Structure 1
Amino acid sequence: MMHTRKIRLMMASAAFVTLAGPAFALDGADMMKKLSAALEVNGTSLAFDKAEVDGDAVTASGVKLQVTGQPGDSINIGDVTFEGVEESDDGGYTAETVSFADVNVSEKEDSVSVKQIAIGGLSVPGNASGGTIDDILLYESFGTGPIEVKVKGKDVFKIASIESNLSRQGNDAGFDFDATLAGLSADLSDVEDAKAKDAIEKLGVKQLDGQMTMKGSWELESGNLAVEEYAFDFKNVGRLNIAMDFSGYTLQFLKALQEANKAAQANPNKEEANQAMGLAMLGLMQQLTFNSASIRFDDASITKKALDYAGSQQGVTGEQMAQSLKGLVPIMMAQLNLPDLQNQVSAAVSTYLDAPKSLTISAEPEKPVPFPMIMGAAMGAPNTIPSVLGVKVTAND
């Protein structure tokens, strides 16, 4: 009797495993379709030939990225391998790593190559049209190895590597993000235009060498998007950093923006689509609030070279050119009818030209300013914008 019971239990267990097996198997095609749906909200989509599953790995072949509504505009990506894939409770998918084939595109002596393209911690939503943090296509890291662009067989542009990271804040309050483009170089020695070639040589920028960095955060509830750093730093030129902070960029705002973009892509009448998109953007801008912004340039010898070059074109020295600019700036600013700003700009330019170190333009109002107020000031009384935004211009600080 006991023996019969054990046999029945074993048979029941076997039947359960047999029935449950297909339910837990990954559906590679479904994952690719949902990945494409998540990309469509931004105006692009994926096409693929097949998606093969091997354990927790999915390999998609013949992958193409294309602009929604324009099948002719596509980029051949080739094979894409997703590893450590799991299906989420909401019908979406996660992948520990996503790797791509190296890109090598060439035409005669011109070519572009990108190596070691990879994504880490990919999250594909089950419902890309939803309105929560889990309905957004996300990744934890993205990176590449060397990127090279050749023209007539000669290297003209290179990036040693790209690395970017996206991390969720506590309680899913938002995200912190950063990115670095390292080893950014450009060869301008083969520029053909004689005037441009002369300027490049005298400014000493035939070979550019630097990097780009970015850092910021996005708070979902308030829609506060703060870009603390968006900088280009080149050796023997200088560092240009742009920072901005505004609120209202919520998930609802993002969804409305995506829907407007999707509608524009679907409209065959491009002129009408552009007009509709413009009106939609104007309406969405009403929801944003300006907090602060700044542009700062830290000189690394380019200013003196620029003054010397500009002066040589006028038959004067670089120092004489600087003195001429110091006298010209107040005259130009006076035409704008901005007396407070005129004095700031004149003083800052004079200080900077005497000893070039840094020049900063910042806007930081006492209280956040709604975008409709800024647009109203721009149309009704443009000379009030600097005071509305709290604009300041400083040098060498």
Structure 2
Amino acid sequence: MNLSYRHMRALPLSFLLVTTSLSGAFADTAGMAAERLKEIVQMQGAILEWDRIDIRGDDAVLVNVRAGTADDKLLIGDVALNGVSNTAEGYLIKEIVFDPMEVGDETSTVSIDDAVMAGVLLPEDSQIDQFGGSIFYEKASIGSMSVTVSDDEVVSLSDFVTRMTAPANGEPMTYSGSADKFYLNLTVVDDEDQQAVLAALDLEEVTGSLSFDGYWQPTDGRFVLSHYDTVVDNAGTFGLTFDMGGYTPAFLASLRELQAQIAANPDGDTSSQGLAILGLMQQLIFHSTSVKFTDASLTNKLLNYLAETQGMKPTDIANQAKAVLPFLLGQLGNAELTAEAMQAVGKFLDDPKNLTVRAAPSAPVPFALLAADVMSDPKKLTKTLGVTVTAND
């Protein structure tokens, strides 16, 4: 009986010791994750600081967070780190939630609401380059963002979401994103001539959406932007693609080291680091890029406006553009491209569907060679890049 009684008396003390130990472990993990977050932000050349950290279990709140440079910091507010754990790759945070943020002065204000990051990994130094050299997250979203100038909303964005998948088993890191709606208020433009153009093109208040996706392969440094489409309602879609190589983890490590050297001595002579960065950029390899415009009434609106202001017909304006184009393109020193572009632009103006400019060399081109072309003979650049122009594909 006495032995049992002593054990029973020891149970509350044992429970207290265990729970205190676990709480300390959680506190250490959450606190160390917060410091790791600060370190990674500093690697990117910025400063992150807060007044204090409140920890409860595996959650933490960074109170009164500020970010920026030593001389100029932006007040972000409280930031909650929910579900912090330690893994072999680094600190994993189930969710980072930002307080609604509003910054500005007497004339303008920027507001951001419902900003959340999920599946956030703060990689260890030995792992960080495999995740692009920075913080990795599975999803980040902003419910709404707006910019107000003199009580007029001039820019807004709603339901912005971006997602990533971690590179694993030789597979690349993929990324994608979209914004359901953006708004741009151009009625605030003061110039009367510009206002007249915007009114004629029905672009005084611009709405639209955007989407993008691509991938990054750490093993060979291939970075691809498969598409980046900006849809402008009642105007058209502007599309962009990009493909380059050489963006390897080793490249990222070297770039981060040079950035750290510059950040450590911001007021000193950083010319040598700048030259080193330029040298490092020569390791990159150009594969291709393209810019595409898909018309949704903007072209005819523009032709009609120009025709009206000059007392002409829209077809006359289109023919004038066709006639002037050879003189503009002739400066490129590429007769084949000039002829191709004239045919494509003429086809587009006669029947506006889409117009695409591509740069896709027959073989990947090092950035060093492109830089040499620019410095020695810029007219060679379009041939080196394999530039083509097509219409109504």
Q: Where does residue 81 of structure 1 map in the other structure?
A: 80
Equivalent in 57, 80, 83 of residue 59 of structure 2: 57
Contact 2:284 2:366 in 1 (8 A): yes
Equivalent in 140, 143, 150 of residue 141 of structure 2: 143
Kindly state the Cα deviation for residue 13 of structure 1 after the two structures are TM-superposed.
7.3
Which AA in structure 2 matches 1:24?
A
**Hey, what's the Cα distance between the residues in 1 that align with 2:163 and 2:273?**
31
Kindly state the Cα deviation for residue 15 of structure 1 after the two structures are TM-superposed.
10
Q: Where does residue 340 of structure 2 map in the other structure?
A: 344
- Work out whether 1:370 is the aligned partner of 2:366: yes
Equivalent in 344, 350, 354 of residue 350 of structure 2: 354
Equivalent in 330, 334, 345 of residue 330 of structure 2: 334
Equivalent in 289, 304, 308 of residue 300 of structure 2: 304
**Hey, what's the Cα distance between the residues in 2 that align with 1:76 and 1:93?**
25
Q: Which moved more, 1:349-358 or 1:131-140?
A: 131-140
Q: Which moved more, 1:221-230 or 1:42-51?
A: 42-51
Q: Go from structure 1 to structure 2 and tell me whether the alpha carbon gap of 1:118 and 1:360 turns closer, same or farther (over 3 Å shift).
A: same
**Hey, what's the Cα distance between the residues in 1 that align with 2:85 and 2:286?**
41
Which AA in structure 1 matches 2:61?
T
Q: Where does residue 50 of structure 2 map in the other structure?
A: 48
SS in 2 for 1:365: coil
Equivalent in 217, 220, 225 of residue 219 of structure 1: 217
What are the within-5 Å matches in structure 2 for residues 133-172 of structure 1?
133=131, 136-171=134-169
**Hey, what's the Cα distance between the residues in 1 that align with 2:273 and 2:235?**
39
**Hey, what's the Cα distance between the residues in 2 that align with 1:2 and 1:223?**
70
Contact 1:128 1:136 in 2 (8 A): no
**Hey, what's the Cα distance between the residues in 1 that align with 2:308 and 2:275?**
48
**Which blocks of at least 5 consecutive residues in structure 2 are unaligned?**
none
**Hey, what's the Cα distance between the residues in 2 that align with 1:355 and 1:19?**
75
Contact 1:126 1:135 in 2 (8 A): no
**Hey, what's the Cα distance between the residues in 2 that align with 1:53 and 1:130?**
26
Q: Go from structure 1 to structure 2 and tell me whether the alpha carbon gap of 1:331 and 1:99 turns closer, same or farther (over 3 Å shift).
A: same
Q: Where does residue 182 of structure 1 map in the other structure?
A: 180
Q: Where does residue 199 of structure 1 map in the other structure?
A: 197
What are the within-5 Å matches in structure 2 for residues 253-292 of structure 1?
253-269=251-267, 272-273=269-270, 275-276=271-272, 278-292=274-288
Contact 1:294 1:360 in 2 (8 A): yes
Q: Go from structure 1 to structure 2 and tell me whether the alpha carbon gap of 1:109 and 1:366 turns closer, same or farther (over 3 Å shift).
A: closer
**Hey, what's the Cα distance between the residues in 2 that align with 1:243 and 1:332?**
25
Q: Where does residue 390 of structure 2 map in the other structure?
A: 394
Q: Go from structure 1 to structure 2 and tell me whether the alpha carbon gap of 1:22 and 1:157 turns closer, same or farther (over 3 Å shift).
A: closer
Q: Give the RMSD, CA atoms, in angstroms.
A: 2.8
Kindly state the Cα deviation for residue 119 of structure 1 after the two structures are TM-superposed.
0.5
**Structure 2 length as normaliser, TM-score?**
0.90
Kindly state the Cα deviation for residue 134 of structure 1 after the two structures are TM-superposed.
9.5
CA deviation string 1:350-387 (max 9, x = no partner): 11111111110112222212222222233333333223
Contact 1:308 1:319 in 2 (8 A): no
**Hey, what's the Cα distance between the residues in 1 that align with 2:87 and 2:283?**
33
What count of residue pairs does the alignment treat as equivalent?
389
Q: Which moved more, 1:115-124 or 1:330-339?
A: 330-339
Contact 2:285 2:364 in 1 (8 A): yes
Kindly state the Cα deviation for residue 234 of structure 1 after the two structures are TM-superposed.
0.4
Contact 1:38 1:128 in 2 (8 A): no
Which AA in structure 2 matches 1:165?
R
SS in 2 for 1:205: coil
Kindly state the Cα deviation for residue 109 of structure 1 after the two structures are TM-superposed.
6.2
Q: Go from structure 1 to structure 2 and tell me whether the alpha carbon gap of 1:172 and 1:3 turns closer, same or farther (over 3 Å shift).
A: farther
Q: Where does residue 122 of structure 2 map in the other structure?
A: 124
SS in 2 for 1:72: coil
Q: Go from structure 1 to structure 2 and tell me whether the alpha carbon gap of 1:128 and 1:81 turns closer, same or farther (over 3 Å shift).
A: farther
CA deviation string 1:192-226 (max 9, x = no partner): 11111111111110111101211100000100000
Q: Go from structure 1 to structure 2 and tell me whether the alpha carbon gap of 1:222 and 1:298 turns closer, same or farther (over 3 Å shift).
A: same
**Hey, what's the Cα distance between the residues in 2 that align with 1:296 and 1:7?**
77
Which AA in structure 2 matches 1:38?
I
Contact 2:115 2:142 in 1 (8 A): yes
Q: Which moved more, 1:358-367 or 1:275-284?
A: 275-284
CA deviation string 1:112-167 (max 9, x = no partner): 22111101011113437964449742111100112222222222221122100011
Q: Percent identity?
A: 28
**Hey, what's the Cα distance between the residues in 2 that align with 1:313 and 1:291?**
43
SS in 1 for 2:27: coil
**Structure 1 length as normaliser, TM-score?**
0.89
CA deviation string 1:50-100 (max 9, x = no partner): 111111211110111122xxx12111111111111112346x421111111
Q: Go from structure 1 to structure 2 and tell me whether the alpha carbon gap of 1:231 and 1:296 turns closer, same or farther (over 3 Å shift).
A: same
Contact 1:133 1:172 in 2 (8 A): no
Contact 2:75 2:103 in 1 (8 A): no
Contact 2:130 2:218 in 1 (8 A): no
SS in 2 for 1:190: coil
